[in-house]
């Protein structure tokens, strides 16, 4: 499958490499085509690895993944373009973290809204699925590597059942077994605040490979 990833940071690069290894075609998108990190990533991985602008990545992908910093999420999906995302599954794994007051971060949206809902409103024709925002990227692509070694839980939510099925299969390809569908995209209000707890636990216990399990 052709997958467009919005974001060229550690999350985009690592997830992109994993998806290439699973046989997908991947384009990393950034604000401008020719982003230094994205070009280096393409050179490293070769084959079907590509890079371009957010718009290029949205046009390229049959499935899109938003993997920017939370503060850049809405600008990225707006630049990607609602028309380019229409009818496509869009995985939003970003977190609404506000680092402006230092560590640990606070949320910049919650209670009556969520970043997942904001992405869905910005891309009204797309099928947004919120997931993967609970763990570090190394655990996203290899959940068995989580602290403790058990099988952690993953949650997803979104308004379109087919899109959620597609994302569930992608999660299974990456090794996730305990996947709970929480319901509509509004349920991002329940999963996004979890990262506050995850970050605080990481700072205190000096671990960044932890993942939760009920």
The site for a copy of itself (CB under 8 A) is made up of 104, 106-112, 147-148, 153, 155, 180-183, 187, 189-191, 193-194, 196-198, 200-201, 204-205, 207, 210-214
**Least distance CB 105 / a copy of itself (angstroms):** 10
26, 12 contact by CB (below 8 A): no
Minimal distance in Å, beta carbon 75 to a copy of itself?
21
Q: Quick one: 27 or 195, whose CB is closer to a copy of itself?
A: 195
Pick between residue 39 and residue 107 the one whose CB is nearest to a copy of itself: 107
**What letter would DSSP give residue 152?**
-
**Closest approach of a copy of itself to the CB of residue 54, in Å:** 28
In the complex, the smallest distance separating the C-beta of residue 71 from a copy of itself, rounded to whole angstroms, is: 15
Compute CA 142 distance to the chain's CA centroid, rounded to the nearest angstrom. 15
In the complex with a copy of itself, the residue whose CB is nearer, 39 or 196, is: 196
Smaller CB separation from a copy of itself, 123 or 154: 154
In sequence order, what are the residues at sequence separation of 6 or more whose Cβ sits closer than 8 angstroms to the Cβ of residue 188?
92, 114, 115, 116, 117, 130, 157
Using the CB atoms, write b or e for 37-76: b if 16+ within 10 Å. Answer: ebeebbeebeeebbbbbbbbbbbbbebbbbbbebbbbbeb
- Bridge partners, residue 3, by sequence: 26, 63
């Amino acid at each position: 499958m052709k997958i467009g990833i919005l974001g060229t940071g550690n999350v985009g690069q690592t997830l992109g490499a994993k998806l290439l290894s699973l046989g997908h075609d991947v384009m990393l998108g950034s604000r401008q085509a020719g982003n230094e990190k994205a070009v280096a990533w393409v050179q490293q991985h070769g084959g079907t690895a590509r890079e371009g602008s957010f718009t290029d990545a949205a046009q390229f992908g049959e499935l899109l993944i938003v993997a920017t910093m939370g503060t850049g999420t809405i600008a990225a999906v707006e630049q990607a373009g609602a028309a380019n995302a229409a009818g496509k599954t869009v995985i939003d794994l970003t977190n609404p973290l506000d680092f402006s007051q230092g560590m640990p971060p606070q949320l910049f949206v919650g209670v009556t809204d969520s970043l997942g809902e904001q992405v869905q409103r910005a891309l009204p024709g797309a099928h947004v699925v919120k997931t993967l925002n609970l763990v570090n990227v190394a655990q996203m692509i290899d959940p068995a590597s989580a602290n403790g070694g058990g099988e952690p839980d993953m949650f997803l939510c979104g308004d379109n059942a087919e899109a959620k099925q597609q994302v569930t299969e992608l999660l299974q390809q990456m090794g996730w077994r305990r996947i709970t569908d929480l319901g509509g995209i509004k349920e991002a209000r329940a999963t996004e605040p979890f990262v506050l707890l995850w970050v605080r636990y990481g700072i205190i216990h000096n671990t960044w490979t932890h993942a939760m399990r009920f």
